[in-house]
Structure 1
Amino acid sequence: MHPDRESAWQAPADAKEQPRQVRRILRLFRPYRGRLAVVGLLVGAASLVSVATPFLLKEILDVAIPEGRTGLLSLLALGMILGAVLTSVFGVLQTLISTTVGQRVMHDLRTAVYGRLQRMSLAFFTRTRTGEVQSRIANDIGGMQATVTSTATSLVSNLTSVVATIVAMVVLDWRLTVVSLLLLPVFVWISRRVGRERRKITTQRQKQMAAMAATVTESLSVSGILLGRTMGRSDSLTRAFADESEGLVDLEVRSNMAGRWRMAVITIVMAAMPAGHYWAARLAHQHGGPGVSHGTNVAVVSR
């Protein structure tokens, strides 16, 4: 490694380098392919079980209750209960395995970063503040914990559930499915906008946390305290730290509020969609189209 090629911590790569970084992240999971395959099977099984629920509900509302078939009603109700039990069991096992894999990946990543730092030249450490190096190991890698332990699994689970749900809705009634999917592109666009905004704020927040850690390490060490008191800089150092902390407060608020209004709009629309389903079903019936049963309506809305 050439010293002239080493530099202080760099900002995240631009969009052109993101695919390369995604491949690097995927390589971290390569030693745990077997466990990840089990997680995938559990996710698929849970999705299949959950898809059966609206069909059971449709049969209860359209057949078992109107026709007074108590035996069929009992079987369908037991089927719904069994589906809930299986979904919960699969979810617990999935969480256990994915969390274990995520923590092992975090361990591998922390060890690799520490080993890499041990091999860096002295020139790197003269250009990089000690507290910043510590912050990168503690805060940056720690910030990835939720991603490698839960977010990735949730992404796969949600994607599988969406596909299975769309298939089930099409089987139940394709017209109501079209009504449900009309706003999907808008929701995807809003979510991507919010994601990009939060990514920028998170980058700024991590830099601010690194700066604060560097200030604390340098000013609160024995040599830093002696130097600060000797030169009478205690008050100025306190004010500088307060300014950095104030900046972090602003970034934390922006991070938590980023996209909140947009997501609130999505929540309102999702809450209003059942009424849209019922209205569309009634409108289709009034214009001479084939009617939609109450069971189908409720089953589609429940998805």
Structure 2
Amino acid sequence: MGLGRVRFIDDSVEMPNITGKMLARIFRYFIPYWKQTVVIILSLVISALLGLVPPLATRSILDEALPQHDMKYLTILMVVAIGAVVLSGLLMVGQNYLKTLIARNIIYKMKNQMFDHIQHMSLRFFSTVKPGEIITRMNSDINGVQEMLNSTIINTLNSTLTLVATAAALISMNWKLAMVGIVIIPLFVIPTRKVGKVRWKIVSQTQTKVDEVNQILQETFSISGSILMKIFTKEQADYTKFEKVNREESRLRMKESLAGQWFTMTISIFTFIGPMFIYFFGGYLYMQGEITVGEIVAFVALLARLYTPAAQLSNIHISVVRSFALFQRIFDYFDQPIEIVDRDKAKTIVSAVGQVDFEHVSFSYDRKIPVLRDINFSVASGTMVALVGPSGAGKTTITNLIPRLYDVVNGCVKIDGEDIRDLTLQSLRRQIGIVMQEPYLFNDTIEENLKYAREDATVDEMIEACRAAYIHDFIMTLPDKYQTVVGNRGIKLSGGEKQRISIARVILKTPRIIIFDEATSSLDSVSELYIQKAMVPLLKGKTSFIIAHRLSTVLAADQILVVEKGRIAEVGKHADLLLRDGIYKKLYDTQFKNQTI
């Protein structure tokens, strides 16, 4: 997935493809704030004009008020100049407020849009996305919209208006002297563009290193990553890896900061030379009687207002490219297709009976290599099915198709005779509970983890569910009982305790169809015993699919599906399958035979 169409490489950088469609897509976010935008533009126009007041007032002070010894006029000019500066400052405060308001509202909307979009992505998306990449897009990229608004749009408008107003003022005062000031602009505008391109390449390379740093941090400091690091004593190796990438990022950032330092020095020289030319040529014009001393001083004061926006505009294309690259990264995520969606006129299933049928189901993760081939079986309501087979045979994939975590490639999965694609996703998934092999708990209280199944669950209902999962007595031994915070991914609890809480959460949901994805394979014997005892009343009257690694589970099943290489190789009960002396018999001899029931 990476960076979509924007690639960052060492020697060259692929610029984003700026199209009219993309421009329209960006500006749609700004349309709701057109009134605020108009106010900002008007204030920029006024600010550009107000910026001319102090130099022009200085001209009048030197040419009129002082020679005429007019104290009243001098006072008026001073008040006008100071008033213009104060008013310009107040306008700047207002501009900052409005542009921040616009940017934060757009960021708020974009983050909500991104969160909602990613929520509905299929497991295919989450299984391929890089660690930390979603967080980078949600935070760094979207938050960059504010900088884009400030540094690109506002600066462009401000620089353009300031440049036009200043150039007009200079020409109106004396076009000959104005030409002297303007002719110097290309001397630093041209190298500015070159330096800007160099910096763009360096920034692009830096972004690659930032992504690498984020990925290392995400992987190393997750709870699983930190445990793995400690167990394998990889602290030094991981530090060395991080230090290398961090050093490279620091080198690039320093290179970016120092890029064009000679050019900056040259600019400062030209910035000094410009006024000297004005004094020199202005002095000549003064001697010819074509200009006054006040106009020369005003010209010099206005030059800074001419050179600064000219330099900014000469480098504006770099800011524009950065901004479009930012939006392209964001849009790359928005354009990821949502594979699992409700069909038109999808039905709502209120209470499923629990009949499940797979009819000629085929599935592939990449649309090329088949994972399931022509799967056919029927499960009656209220019965238990055990799925057995070697690792990678397709057992979990079969169960993932029932709640439409993936969609079939061919064939269909039916519940109560209805193709599940004809049912709304919410109503379908409300009928299904899954207990995963690796239980996931939020870093919150036990109560809040339980309420994730049902926000309106009462205390009595939670206690009843926990009793059924044989975890209530343990919870009551904790100092904070149901208000105990379980830690990141439930790290403060044992595997069996986490699993029983996750089972209680499923019980609280009261689904009609239950899937146990090897839910007891990682439990100790005591915890497994509790789970086995809890499963009997839990599964009574419900349709259940159990990926089994325990003989006791297999024996309790009403039907056993033997999965091998993406096919249903055998179907039957334990005793019948043993008599066939087939795949199940081999599995039993190698996996189940020596287990105690």
TM-score exceeds 0.5: yes
The CA RMSD over aligned residues, in Å, is: 2.3
Counterpart of 1:17? 17
Which one has a larger percent helix, Structure 1 or Structure 2?
1
| C-alpha distance in 1 between matches for 2:185 and 2:123 | 53
Return the letter of the residue paired with 1:254. Answer: K
Counterpart of 2:295? 296
Residues 131 and 218, structure 2, Cα contact 8 Å, conserved in 1: yes
Matched, 1:123 2:124: yes
| C-alpha distance in 2 between matches for 1:115 and 1:192 | 40
Counterpart of 2:84? 83
Please, what TM-score do these two structures have when normalized by structure 2?
Answer: 0.46
Deviation of 1:62 after TM superposition, in Å, equals 0.9
| C-alpha distance in 1 between matches for 2:105 and 2:262 | 37
Residues 110 and 141, structure 1, Cα contact 8 Å, conserved in 2: yes
CA offsets 1:8-39 (integer angstroms, 9 cap, x no match)? 32253744712454444333222211101000
| C-alpha distance in 1 between matches for 2:165 and 2:271 | 19
| C-alpha distance in 2 between matches for 1:53 and 1:259 | 33
| Cα separation, partners in 2 of 1:190 and 1:26, compared to 1, 3 Å | farther
CA offsets 1:179-210 (integer angstroms, 9 cap, x no match)? 11112223332222222222222222222112
| Cα separation, partners in 2 of 1:256 and 1:22, compared to 1, 3 Å | farther
| Cα separation, partners in 2 of 1:16 and 1:95, compared to 1, 3 Å | closer
Residues 110 and 137, structure 1, Cα contact 8 Å, conserved in 2: yes
| C-alpha distance in 1 between matches for 2:102 and 2:70 | 48
| C-alpha distance in 1 between matches for 2:202 and 2:113 | 26
Deviation of 1:150 after TM superposition, in Å, equals 5.2
Matched, 1:30 2:24: no
> Which one is further off, 43-52 or 159-168?
43-52
| Greater RCO, CA 8 A, separation 6+ | 1
| Cα separation, partners in 2 of 1:16 and 1:256, compared to 1, 3 Å | closer
> Which one is further off, 163-172 or 202-211?
202-211
Residues 6 and 16, structure 2, Cα contact 8 Å, conserved in 1: no
Residues 103 and 149, structure 1, Cα contact 8 Å, conserved in 2: no
Q: Which runs of 4+ in 1 moved over 6 A?
A: none
Percent identity of the aligned residues? 25
Which one has a larger percent strand, Structure 1 or Structure 2?
2
Matched, 1:213 2:214: yes
Return the letter of the residue paired with 2:184. Answer: L
Deviation of 1:97 after TM superposition, in Å, equals 1.0
| C-alpha distance in 1 between matches for 2:230 and 2:76 | 79
Q: How does 1:254-293 map to 2 (within 5 A)?
A: 254-284=255-285, 289-293=288-292
Residues 99 and 150, structure 1, Cα contact 8 Å, conserved in 2: no
Deviation of 1:151 after TM superposition, in Å, equals 4.6
Q: How does 1:183-194 map to 2 (within 5 A)?
A: 183-194=184-195
Counterpart of 1:102? 103
Stretches of structure 1 lacking an aligned partner (at least 5 in a row) = 1-6
Counterpart of 1:3? none
Deviation of 1:270 after TM superposition, in Å, equals 0.9
| C-alpha distance in 2 between matches for 1:225 and 1:181 | 61
Stretches of structure 2 lacking an aligned partner (at least 5 in a row) = 8-13, 303-597
> Which one is further off, 172-181 or 249-258?
249-258
Residues 49 and 87, structure 1, Cα contact 8 Å, conserved in 2: yes
Largest Rg, 1 or 2: 2
| C-alpha distance in 1 between matches for 2:144 and 2:202 | 13
Counterpart of 2:247? 246
CA offsets 1:245-287 (integer angstroms, 9 cap, x no match)? 111111211222222322232122112321110111234466x
